[in-house]
Structure 1
Amino acid sequence: MTDEKTGCLICGGELVYSDTEKEMECSFCGKKFRTNVACENGHFICDECHGREAEAMITAFCLNTDLKDPIKIAITLMRHPSMHMHGPEHHYLVPAVLITAYYNEINEQEKKEKALKKALSRSEHIKGGFCGTHGTCGAAIGTGIFISVITGSTPLSGESWSLSNRMTATALMAIANAGGPRCCKRDTYLAIIGAVKFLEENFKVALPVTEEFCCEFSGLNRECRKKECPFWCGQSDNLK
C-alpha cells in the first residue's frame, strides 16, 4: 500500500466509474472481483484491501479512548495515515465512533468491544461506491447499524427495527440534501451529527458534539464543493 491519500492508492491516478461491472483482479491480494471502478491506469483494489489497516486502527482506538464527542473521535481517526480521503473504511468508522461515544457517555465501556465487532461485521457488507450505484450512502447505513447494535434489533424486532430504519433515513436525507458528488468526510460528519440529534430525541442520551468546525481534509478532495459544503472554510486545519 502506498501513501496516496486520494484517487488510486497505487499511483494516485483518477478513479474511473462505469455504470456496468467487469471482472478485475485486485492489485494487492490478486483475488478477482466484479467491479465498476478502476483507476485510469488500470489498477483495482478490493474493499477488503482498501480498508484492512484502517479497520484495525479504528477498533484499537475506540476501545481505548474515553472521548464522548463522536466528531472529535472521527476527526482523530481520519488523521491516521491508513484513512484515505474516500473509501469503505468510513462505513465502519461511523458506527464505531457512535458506539464508542455512546457507551463512554452512559458509562458502559465494557460493552464496546462486542458492539464494535458487530458493527465491523455488518459494515463489511457495504461496498465502496454504494452512494452512486445503490441510492444509499454507507455513512447513513452506518448510523442504522449503530442503532441496531445498541438496541439489539433483528428483522423480527418491533420498535428497534423501526428506529434503526428511521435513523438511516434521517441521515440519508441530510446527505442527499447536501448534494453530490460524494465526499466521504462530509457525509460522515452529516451522518454523525444527525445520529447525535436522533439519539437525544429518541433515547434521551445527549452526547457532547462539535457541530461547527472546519474540515481539514478539503485540500485532499479533488471534487470538494468548497463554499457549497457546510464544513468548508478555506484551508484551515483546526477545529473552531
Structure 2
Amino acid sequence: MKTEFDAHKSGKNDCGGIYSSNCLICGNGLEYLPISIFLTCFYCGKEEKGNIVCSSGKSHYVCDDCHNLPSFNFIKEYLLATDKMDPFEITFDILNNSSIPMLGCHHAYILTGSILMSLKNRGYLNITDADMEEAFLRLSKQAVGGYCGLSGVCGIVPAGGIIYSILTGSVCGKDREQKITMGITTSLSKAIYCLTGPSCCKAYLFKSMEILIYSLYIDFHFPLLDKDVKIECNFKDMHPHVCGLEKCPYFAGFNINTKELRQTYQKETGFLHESDFTCEDTYSNTDVLRNEVVVYSDAPTAPC
C-alpha cells in the first residue's frame, strides 16, 4: 500500500499579507541585498538591519518575526494537537495550510516538529510541550530567513541536528553524542548542497525528511513509515526563484519504499553510516554506540 502526497495551494496567505510568494504585502519580487541596511517593518514598526526587501520599495520590509509568527503559531498548534504518526502526512497537512509562505525558515520548524511528533505518537519517546518549545527555541538561534545564501547554511540543517541532540542529550563538550549530532547535520548539509540551484525550501524539507527517516531507523531502530510513500510537489508555479522542474527529484514524484528501507537496514552498521563520510575515526558499530549513548526518553525503545 502506498500513500501519495500531492501538495498544492493558492497564492493567498493569512499571515498579515495576502501573498505566500514574494513580497507578503504586494506580491512583487524580493530583492536580496549583499549588505544589510536599516529597514522598518511594515507591520510592527521595528527598525533593524536586514537583507531582504520588496523590489518595489524598501517601505515593504517584513521582519522575520512578522513573516514567521502566524505560520509558527499554526505549526505549533497543529503539532501539539495531532495524533498522526506518519511524518509526511503531518508535514503535508501543514504545508497545505494557507498560512504557510512558499519559502522561509518555517520549513525547518516543520521538519523538527513532524519528526518529533511521529516519534511521540508512535510511543518511542515521551515528547512534551516543553521539549517542543526547547526545540523551537534552539531553531530560532540558527534558522534565519535568507541566510542560506548569506552564510551557506540552510536552517533545515540545524533542524535535523536538534532532533538528534534531543535523542542523545548532546550538549557542547559531550563526546559521542555531539559527534553523532554533527554527523547527521553533515549528511543533511551535503544533500541540500546537491539540490541547490535554484534554492527551494520544499525540496530541502523533503530530502531532509528522507534522510532522517532512514537514519532514525538505522541508528535508533525507530521506523516511522508503515507503508510506501510517494512525494509529489506541485508548488512550482509559486516559486519566486523559478522551479528547477526536472532537476528536482520531487517534480515528477519520488517514491520511498519501506521494504527497501528494511533491506538497507540489514546491511547498514549505524551511526555516521554515510558511505562517503570519510572521517578516519568514524565509529561504525551500532551496538557499541547504542550502549554508550542514552536515548533520552521515558518510553521504551522501539523493537528492531
TM-score by length of 1: 0.91
User: What is the CA–CA distance in structure 2 between the aligned matches of 1:62 and 1:210, rounded to whole Å?
Assistant: 23
1:224 aligns with 2:255: no
Q: 1:167, CA displacement in angstroms? A: 1.1
Whichever of the two has the greater Rg, that structure is 2
| 8 A contact 1:16–1:38 mirrored in 2 | yes
Identity %: 27
User: What is the CA–CA distance in structure 2 between the aligned matches of 1:15 and 1:99, rounded to whole Å?
Assistant: 33
| 8 A contact 1:17–1:38 mirrored in 2 | yes
Higher relative contact order by CA 8 Å / sep ≥ 6: 1 or 2?
A: 2
What do the CA deviations read for 1:178-220 (whole angstroms, capped 9, x no partner)? 1222111111111111111111121111110765321132221
2:129 aligned to which of 94, 113, 134: 113
Q: 1:228, CA displacement in angstroms? A: 0.9
Q: 1:139, CA displacement in angstroms? A: 1.2
Stretches of structure 1 lacking an aligned partner (at least 5 in a row): 235-240
Q: Which moved more, 1:147-156 or 1:6-15?
A: 147-156
**Number of equivalences:** 233
| 8 A contact 2:85–2:118 mirrored in 1 | yes
Matches of residues 155-234 of structure 1 in structure 2 within 5 Å?
155-208=172-225, 211-222=229-240, 223-233=242-252
Q: 1:137, CA displacement in angstroms? A: 0.8
Deviating beyond 3 angstroms after TM superposition, the runs of 4 or more aligned structure 1 residues are none
Q: 1:96, CA displacement in angstroms? A: 1.0
What do the CA deviations read for 1:62-112 (whole angstroms, capped 9, x no partner)? 11212222122111101111100001212211111111111222354x523
Greater share of residues in helix: 1
User: What is the CA–CA distance in structure 2 between the aligned matches of 1:202 and 1:106, rounded to whole Å?
Assistant: 17
Stretches of structure 2 lacking an aligned partner (at least 5 in a row): 1-15, 254-304
Change beyond 3 A, Cα 1:141–1:107: closer
The alignment partner of 1:22 has SS state of strand
Change beyond 3 A, Cα 1:38–1:210: farther
The alignment partner of 1:233 has SS state of coil
